[in-house]
Structure 1
């Protein structure tokens, strides 16, 4: 019997999908179910799935925000995790921290990092990625103040971001999650405003797809995007804006790349237990997970 993994997302149900894959000799059904921003609906769905599936991923919300070696629990996400009593619940942060770090080094053949300017709208959501970009010498604009708080304060030093995060994250993680990140129908809204001009700085924009898309300008000519959860519709969106490459850190299955929360839940389902960093690195090697590079300038039939 196939194992079953379900991602319960606060995002739009329009992006729901199901795929069956065979991994290390086992069949696994991967399912994504959006609750359109309905927090209580997500809790009810997790309770309904508890004990009936092998692992649950949390989509559209993080369990933790990270700065340096410190990890801060998001109160709303903790409520979702605690709704399950039997089935393990993961948010993708363990896999993100390892997979995205490694992806930066894997992509050194595509980018000359020391000459590459990167816009990372939310570093505290992807601190492993932020640290890896800093290690390879990329010039990074950390946009946490701009995109999360609406303050025109670009940061260019990771050390400064850490210090500010230590002060702010204990407070921000107690707020309703909808104030920090778009959920439900808000994920479909685009707000091209003063924040969009910061995209001009970048050769590469990286991070959560909804965050990137929300303020993305019409002109993305020559720019590349490093993210994870994208659909065929998202690919068309980027092609229409002239983007150069779409790089996803998770494999494309049934025409879309699933989120790290789904892939992390898949690994937990295979292992039958929650995993640590060494386990994720071992599975990354076993499965040969590497960044998927889509050349958006090639005709569609060439990419098929």
Structure 2
């Protein structure tokens, strides 16, 4: 019987997907499913309760449960309500895998991109601290846009130390706010905001991190730009081509025409291992065992 992974997402139901994956290396079949609740936390909680104990692992999509700054971990209040609805089945938000898979992706992409001096915009670095650290270590010229895109304040952060300092100050407060104030959920994921924030896209050679922040604030002309992200659909590829984006790189593989989020892949690893939690080393072992590499799509 296939192992079943369900990502319960606060995002749009238009992005729902389901794929069956056979892994010969593990001699197992997996069903990976994503179900959006269009911004409703209550629907998401009911869905988790109805599937709890009936599936092998949950992903939490469209929101973060945890964010990291250095070695400190912070928990979002809204997401914790949802996570507590899962009493029997483990729930993963992708934060563990982001720290390993995305860091490794930066290293793997060095021969192709040549990070040193490359101008990279990370619209939201707090939920991808491993990516932020890896880009800095690789010598990229990075602009961390957390103030700009999450809070609407024109304060670009250009060093990892500044990002970490502000995270220590603000995250204890920010994680207690309604998540929808900070991140596009439900129908907001489909809407574009064309304002002053577009100038930072024009500055960058590469835009890396969360796709929904990118899509929401992306200018019409993105000629020659590279996108490094994970959760994308066929419609997203059409959107990128219309804006002239040269290359899409996803850190997770494309299955049934789309790349699933890190929360799905982290839940997938836990289902495959049959235990929770997994250590950072165990995540790396599964990444190697499954041969996960950044997937490059020339647009």
> Same fold by TM (over 0.5)?
yes
Q: How far did residue 233 of structure 1 move? A: 0.7
CA offsets per residue over residues 160-208 of structure 1, 9 Å max, x none?
A: 1111110000000000111111110011110011111110110000111
Aligned pair partner of 1:289 in 288, 292, 295 = 292
Taking the TM superposition and a 5 Å limit, the aligned residue runs for 1:141-290 are 141-274=143-276, 275-290=278-293
| Aligned pair partner of 1:132 in 123, 131, 134 | 134
How many angstroms does 1:276 deviate by?
Answer: 1.5
> Deviation digits for residues 45-88 of structure 1, max 9, x if unmatched?
00001000000000001111111111101111111111011001
Q: Distance in 1 between matches of 2:97 and 2:118?
A: 25
Which whole-Å CA distance do the structure 2 matches of 1:260 and 1:53 have between them? 18
CA distance in 2 between partners of 1:64 and 1:84 (Å): 16
Correspondence for 1:300 = none
CA distance in 2, matches of 1:278, 1:40: 35
Distance (Å, rounded) in 1 between the aligned partners of 2:281 and 2:187: 37
Residue 132 of structure 1 aligns to a residue whose secondary structure is helix
Matches of 1:269 and 1:260, distance apart in 2: 14
Q: 2-side partners of 1:5 and 1:164: how far apart?
A: 35
CA distance in 2, matches of 1:61, 1:155: 23
Deviations 1:249-270 (A, max 9, x none): 0000000000011111111111
Structure 2 Cα separation of the partners of residues 166 and 179 of structure 1:
19
| Number of the residue aligned with 1:18 | 18
Unaligned runs of 5+ in 2: none
Deviations along 1:115-157, one digit per CA (max 9) or x if unpaired, are 3100001110100000000001100000001011111111111
Q: What is the RMSD computed on CA atoms of the aligned residues?
A: 0.7
Tell me the distance in 1 between the aligned counterparts of 2:131 and 2:108.
12
Runs of 4+ in 1 over 3 A off after TM superposition: none
Q: State how far apart, in whole Å, the 1-side matches of 2:256 and 2:51 are.
A: 23
Matched, 1:8 2:8: yes
Aligned equivalents of 1:25, 1:92: Cα separation in 2: 24
So what's the TM-score if we normalise by structure 1? 0.96
For residues 101-120 of structure 1, what are the structure 2 equivalents within 5 Å?
101-120=103-122
Question: Which stretches in structure 1 are left out of the alignment for 5+ residues?
Answer: 297-304
**Secondary structure at 1:46 match in 2:** helix
Distance (Å, rounded) in 2 between the aligned partners of 1:290 and 1:151: 35
Measure the CA separation in 2 of the matches of 1:129 and 1:208. 11
